[in-house]
């Protein structure tokens, strides 16, 4: 993080007054947030509330990775976009709407799909990553890149009435410890195939934003080593304890994954002889 500014402007004091009066945040914590940066993978269902709440909180720089355009079907849950944005690139819609919430935020657009060729360069620019991708190839890609770069990863996913969230800190377990190998292609449907209750994205995305803010502020007990599982039908929350797997090919004692690979081949969605493809980054 960069050096904190010496003082908040009167306008900033008023904007962030409900933070500043909190003992665990205060003026010092607010300045810390303003000097922090977060990368949002996907400007969709989970990326939308994450980006909105991080910008409202005053996180100084927010990066958005996406190459999709706003579709009418997105508006049931992707609160970062409005009806007038249909047909626009999601990153452009995200830029305008984040700026309308907080013009002081520096919004950096990465209008691209994340790939093994660009992930290290993009992710290295940020303090923390919030993952809202809807496909396994991107999830493994982001996990591996964050681990190799030493970046904390706030992970989340949703489907129908269910959601989950956790935080991965390099050295304390990773996505591969939780899911050593991807499921066979087609076994797990995505939101476009199975659907999702729109408010679930707001619930899980807000949890992700909260975990990011706690990390920046250095307060509370994070979801590191804990997987929070949400069932909206009976409104239950339960936890599963996560442990670093010593045999993990990425973060284990004898790692075999030491650089980014072809994740579409790894997840079985491309054949080894095919031209390597970029990996979609937007959650649905």
* Annotated domain spans of the chain: 36-266
Q: What is the pLDDT of residue 274?
A: 39
Superfamily of domain covering 36-266? NAD(P)-binding Rossmann-like Domain (3.40.50.720)
283 — pLDDT class (breaks 50, 70, 90): low
pLDDT digits (tens, 9 = 90+) for 130-167: 999 989 999 999 999 999 999 999 999 999 999 999 99
30 — pLDDT class (breaks 50, 70, 90): very high
Q: What is the pLDDT of residue 275?
A: 37
Calpha distance 18→16 (Å, rounded)? 6
3-state secondary structure 44-103: CCCHHHHHHHHHHHCCCEEEEECCCECCHHHHHCCCCCCHHHCCCEHHHHHHHHHHHHCC
Q: Is residue 126 over pLDDT 70? A: yes
Q: What is the pLDDT of residue 75?
A: 97
Q: What is the pLDDT of residue 39?
A: 98
pLDDT digits (tens, 9 = 90+) for 74-111: 999 999 999 999 999 999 999 999 999 999 999 999 99
Q: What is the pLDDT of residue 66?
A: 97
Least confident of 243-252, 253-262, 274-283: 274-283
| Average pLDDT value for residue range 200-211 | 98
| Average pLDDT value for residue range 39-63 | 98
Q: Is residue 280 over pLDDT 50? A: no
Q: Which of 14, 2, 59, 6 is nearest to 213 (CA)?
A: 59
Contact between 252 and 246 (Cβ < 8 Å): yes
pLDDT digits (tens, 9 = 90+) for 160-189: 999 999 999 999 999 999 999 988 887 777
Report H helices in 107-262: 119-123, 136-149, 175-178, 191-194, 198-217
Calpha distance 11→56 (Å, rounded)? 14
């Amino acid at each position: 993080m960069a050096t904190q500014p010496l003082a908040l402007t009167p306008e900033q004091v008023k904007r962030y007054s409900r933070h500043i009066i909190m003992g665990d945040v205060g003026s010092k914590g607010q300045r810390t947030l303003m000097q922090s940066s977060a990368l949002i993978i996907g400007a969709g269902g989970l990326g939308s509330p994450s980006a909105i709440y991080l910008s409202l909180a005053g996180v100084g720089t927010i990066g958005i990775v996406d190459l999709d355009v706003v579709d009418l079907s997105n508006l049931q849950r992707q609160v970062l976009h409005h009806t007038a944005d249909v047909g626009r690139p999601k990153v452009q819609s995200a830029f305008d709407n984040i700026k309308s919430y907080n013009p002081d935020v520096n919004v950096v657009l990465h209008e691209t799909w994340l790939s093994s060729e660009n992930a290290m360069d993009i992710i290295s620019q940020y303090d923390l990553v919030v993952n809202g991708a809807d496909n396994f190839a991107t999830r493994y890609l982001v996990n591996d890149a964050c681990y190799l770069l030493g970046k904390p990863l706030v992970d989340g996913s949703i489907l129908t009435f269910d959601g989950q969230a956790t935080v991965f800190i390099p050295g304390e377990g990773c996505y591969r410890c939780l899911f050593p190998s991807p499921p066979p292609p087609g076994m797990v449907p995505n939101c476009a195939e199975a659907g999702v209750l729109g408010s679930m994205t707001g619930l899980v995305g807000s949890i992700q934003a909260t975990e990011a803010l706690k990390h920046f502020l250095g307060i509370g007990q994070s979801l590191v080593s804990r997987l929070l599982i949400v069932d909206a039908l009976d409104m239950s929350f339960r936890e599963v304890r996560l442990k670093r797997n010593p045999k993990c090919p990425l973060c284990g004692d004898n790692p075999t994954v030491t650089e980014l690979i072809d994740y579409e081949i790894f997840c079985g969605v491309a054949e080894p002889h095919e031209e390597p493809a970029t990996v979609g980054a937007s959650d649905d």
